[in-house]
Amino acid sequence: MLQPDQIVGDRYRVDRMIGGGGSADVYKVEHVRLKSMHALKVSHDASGPDVQKALLLEGRVQAMLAHPSIVRVTDILDMGDSEGLILDFVEGATLAEWLAGAGKDVGLVEQLGVFVGIIRGVNVAHGRGVVHRDLNPGNVLLDITSGRITAKVANFGKARLTGPSASLIAPLLYRSVGDPRYTAPEQAEDPGGADERADLFSLGCILYEMICGTPAFVGDTPDEVRHLVQNGLYEPPTSHVAGLSAPLQRVV
C-alpha cells in the first residue's frame, strides 16, 4: 500500500487513496513538477504477474478510447517492482455516490442528461470493438465542475475486444463477472462470450435505478439476484414513478 507523500515513478507524489477493491487500488497523485492532479491505479502488493499483465492490458484498451465521456489513461508508470496506470483525476463522485446523495434531488431531465453521457462513452467503446462487461453505477465517474455534470465511464478491467484485435485482451476473458444486479443473463453463463448486448442490458439496469431510485433486481444473496435476472423478475418502472412516459418505459 502506498503512503501519503510517497514519491512514485520519480515524479508523482501520493496524496491519498481514493478507491480500491478487487485486484487494484486507486490513489490521487500530484505531478511533482507540473503540480497537476492525476489518478494512479496499481495492483495490490500480493498480486501475481497475471494480475499485473491484466492491468497493463486494461490500460492499453482504455488509452485507445479517447473521448470526454471515458476516463483517459495517459501513461504507464514504472514503480520498480511493478507498474501502474496514470489516469485523469475526476473531481466528483461515482454515479452510485451521486444517486445516494445529491442525485436524489434532481429532476428527470438532468438525470437523463447524465445518462446520455454514459451512453456516449459506451458507444465510443463499442465503435472500437470494446465490450465493457462491468457497467454499473460504481464504474461511472461524474466530473462536477461549476454545477455541470459530465459522466465518464471508468474501469475497463473486465473488458474484452471483439473482431480482429480480440487476442489483445484474451487473459481477461474469463475473469469473474461484475455485480450480478447489472450483469446480463448470458454474461453470467458465459463471461467470455458476452458481446455489446450485455452492455445494453447493464445500461438498462443503470437507467432503471436512476429513474426509480432503486436497483431493478434486489435480493438478499448474489444467487437470489441472479435468479431474478435470469427470469426477468423486476417491478415495472411505473410502480416507482407515476406518470412515466411510454417511450421512456420502452427504453428501460
In Å, how far from its chain's centre is CA 134? 6
Q: How many residues in the chain?
A: 252
**Set of cell numbers at residue 234:** 423486476
Residue 202's nearest CA partner among 130, 252, 246, 143 is 252
Q: Which of 5, 50, 75, 134 is flagged as catalytic? A: 134
Give the count of beta carbons closer than 10 Å to the beta carbon of residue 131.
23
Backbone angles phi, psi at 117, to 5 degrees: -60, -40
- Is 134 an active-site residue? yes
**Angle CA 33–36–40, to nearest 5:** 100
**Set of cell numbers at residue 113:** 442528461
Residues assigned a catalytic role:
134
